[in-house]
């Protein structure tokens, strides 16, 4: 099982598949989800917007099992821009 560290409170499933280098593009990630190739915590997940939190386990057919871990250093991570 590979551990994937996130630097935010949660990550959406499609973003996770790209972050973990399982899918190269968002459309590839969406296709994997639609085809039932992705399970979250033992259940097939068909929602691309599913939020993953530290402790969640993701299994992808042909790629393996991944566990989300948190606590990453947020220094340098964008907090967005000030609209003013």
Domain count, the chain: 1
- What are 50-63's pLDDT values in tens digits? 999 999 999 999 99
> Does residue 59 lie in a domain region?
yes
Nearest Cα residue to 60 out of 35, 79, 84, 82: 35
> Does residue 48 lie in a domain region?
yes
> Does residue 45 lie in a domain region?
yes
> Does residue 78 lie in a domain region?
no
Q: What is the CATH number of the domain that holds 52?
A: 3.10.290.10
Beta carbons within 8 Å of 2's beta carbon, 6+ residues apart = 20, 64, 65, 66, 67
> Does residue 84 lie in a domain region?
no
* Between residues 83 and 18, the one the model is more confident about: 18
Beta pairing, strands 51-52 & 11-12:
antiparallel
- Tell me the mean pLDDT in the region 72-76: 50
> Does residue 82 lie in a domain region?
no
> Does residue 47 lie in a domain region?
yes
Average pLDDT, the chain: 87
Nearest Cα residue to 71 out of 10, 5, 4, 17: 5
Q: Residue 79: its pLDDT value, please?
A: 47
Asked if residue 66 has pLDDT above 80, the reply is yes
Nearest Cα residue to 53 out of 75, 69, 74: 69
Asked if residue 84 has pLDDT above 90, the reply is no
> Does residue 28 lie in a domain region?
yes
């Amino acid at each position: 099982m590979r551990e994937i560290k996130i630097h935010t409170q949660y990550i959406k499933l499609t973003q996770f598949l790209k972050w973990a280098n399982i899918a190269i593009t968002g459309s590839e990630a969406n296709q994997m989800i639609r085809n039932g190739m992705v399970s979250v915590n033992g259940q097939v997940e068909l929602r691309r917007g599913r939020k993953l939190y530290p402790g969640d386990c993701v299994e992808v057919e042909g790629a393996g099992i991944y566990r989300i871990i948190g606590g990453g250093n947020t220094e340098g991570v964008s907090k967005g821009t000030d609209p003013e």
